[in-house]
């Protein structure tokens, strides 16, 4: 029997939230005439980044133990900006663009930022206590603010990635 990947209920909920937000994101881009991400190849290529975005925040359990879960460094936009910086600095971005074109790079960025944003939003919905930050209201503001920042990346990736290197938008 082939190897079967089992998802815990929590992992499945985060993945589902990510897919829902991804559909909303594609709808937004479609309305704006941004066809780059709507190509079936781009939708497919965004999936690994989307999955990683929904899962990465909970890696604080693995690194810090359950007592350190919902660490604000993991439950924020920081993982996106750090990885995007590494992605660019070590030359992965240039390599990916050479291999798969700008569409691939854009799909990875948007997929990952949407996945991470969906994780923050679901944690607000389920009221997850964020470590180091006192009180539920500040926790929600923290998660909501970072989800909004990631939403900005997902909605306006050209601003971040430099519009001149991307295919023209159909208006
Ligand atoms: Zn979480």
How many Å lie between the centroid of ligand 1 and the Cα of residue 76?
10
Is residue 43 domain-resident? yes
54 and 118 Cβ atoms separated by less than 8 Å: yes
* pLDDT tens-digit readout, 39-70: 888 888 899 999 999 999 989 888 888 877 88
User: Residue 158: which domain range?
Assistant: 9-162
> How many structural domains does the chain have?
1
Is residue 1 domain-resident? no
How many Å lie between the centroid of ligand 1 and the Cα of residue 67?
13
48 and 111 Cβ atoms separated by less than 8 Å: yes
* pLDDT tens-digit readout, 97-139: 888 788 888 899 999 999 999 999 999 998 878 888 888 899 9
How many Å lie between the centroid of ligand 1 and the Cα of residue 107?
23
142 and 72 Cβ atoms separated by less than 8 Å: yes
Q: Which residues are CB-contacts of 170 (< 8 A; sequence separation ≥ 6)?
A: 33, 34, 35
Is residue 16 domain-resident? yes
């Amino acid at each position: 029997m082939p190897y079967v990947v089992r998802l815990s209920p929590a992992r499945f909920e985060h993945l589902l939230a990510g897919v829902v937000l991804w559909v909303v994101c594609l709808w937004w881009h479609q309305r704006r005439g941004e066809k780059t991400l709507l190509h079936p190849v781009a939708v497919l290529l965004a999936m690994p980044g989307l999955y990683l975005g929904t899962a990465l925040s909970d890696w604080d359990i693995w690194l810090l133990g359950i007592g350190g879960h919902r660490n604000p460094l993991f439950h924020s936009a920081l993982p996106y900006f750090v990885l995007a910086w590494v992605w660019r600095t070590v030359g992965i971005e240039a390599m990916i663009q050479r291999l798969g074109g700008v569409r691939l790079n854009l799909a990875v960025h948007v997929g990952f930022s949407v996945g991470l944003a969906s994780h923050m939003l679901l944690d607000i919905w389920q009221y997850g206590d964020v470590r180091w930050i006192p009180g539920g209201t500040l926790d929600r503001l923290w998660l909501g603010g970072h989800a909004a920042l990631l939403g900005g990346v997902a909605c306006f990736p050209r601003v971040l990635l430099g519009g001149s290197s991307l295919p023209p938008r159909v208006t």
